[in-house]
Amino acid sequence: MALIRCRGFSLIEVMISILIGSLVMAAATGMIRTSALTRGIVSSNAELQQEAFFATHALRQQLAQIGYRSIDRAGIAGRTLPIASPERTFPAVSGVWEEGQTLRAAGNSLWYRFDGASAADGSADGSIYDCLGNALPFGVAYEVQLSLQANQLVCTVGADSLALVGSANGTQVEQLEFSLGVDTDGDNGIDLNVAASAATAAELRDARHIMVRMLLASPDNVLSHNQTYRYQGVDVTATDRRVRNEVVVSVGLRNQP
């Protein structure tokens, strides 16, 4: 009976096998980490872009209503449209609003007033909404506040509030600024740009343009290293690895008196 001899692996062969296996595992681990990092960055960018799109749409709709005065259908006679004066539509509120005033600001908060619009039966016609999504009828000076609270852009109407941009566990609003373009000589051109919080009563009254600037950030550190981002025309080096995106919303105030 013939004997079959089985030759085992030598120590060198075993070591080479272990080395090759380690290299394969290291490469696979690196690919997995790179894939996870890329996925996180893409997901964060997509979320910031979605928030930016919604913020732009919502703010343009809201800010375009500043100073809006509706037509009183019951008072239509001939060719004259019965649009009340700002002083009549927006009464004074002691210590808060002057008569006819529709815009004020303090810190990173902005308050504005506008009228609603009614259908023939007196109900809201669906053309004017507050920031909570409520359709508003004619005849009331509605007031809305926009402010930065807990890294969210929050709108407030009366006792009710809603986060328009950002969430506790999602996108963060790191910076929020309001600025005004002011017509100082009555030609409807912009002669002066001022921070809304520093504007005088006259500048608030003569504002013809408003700009909202926000800095959005991802909730998690998804980048491989700290990167530079651009905000207000300046390059800023981040102190963490979160994705950031600047959002600028520009709206003409066509309803100002």
What is the pLDDT averaged over residues 12-31?
68
Range name among 34-43, 131-140, 174-183 with the lowest pLDDT average: 34-43
- Res 4 pLDDT > 60: no
- Average pLDDT, rounded, for the chain: 86
* pLDDT tens per residue, range 64-107: 999 999 876 555 565 566 677 888 899 999 999 999 999 999 99
Minimal CA–CA distance to 234: which of 217, 246, 248? Answer: 246
CA angle, residues 186, 187, 192, in degrees to nearest 5: 75
pLDDT at 19: 72
**pTM value?**
0.81
How would residue 204 be classed by pLDDT, with cut points 50, 70 and 90? very high
Least confident range of 51-55, 150-154, 207-211: 51-55
Between CA 47 and CA 217 the distance in angstroms is 10
Helix (H), strand (E) at residue 148? strand 142-149
pLDDT of residue 254: 86
What is the model's pLDDT at position 5? 58
For the chain, how far is it from start to end, CA to CA, in angstroms?
Answer: 113
Reported as type and span, the H/E element at residue 51 is: helix 11-63
Q: Tell me the mean pLDDT in the region 129-153.
A: 95
pLDDT-above-90 percentage for the chain: 60
- Quickly state the pLDDT bin for 46 (edges 50, 70, 90): confident
Mean pLDDT in residue range 120-142: 92
- For 220-252, the pLDDT digits (tens) are 888 888 889 999 999 999 999 999 999 999 999
The fraction of the chain above a pLDDT of 70, given in percent, is 83
Is the pLDDT at 126 greater than 60, yes or no?
Answer: yes
Q: Is 74 exposed, middle or buried (0-12, 13-18, 19+ CB in 10 A)?
A: exposed
- Would you call 193 helix, strand, or coil by DSSP? strand
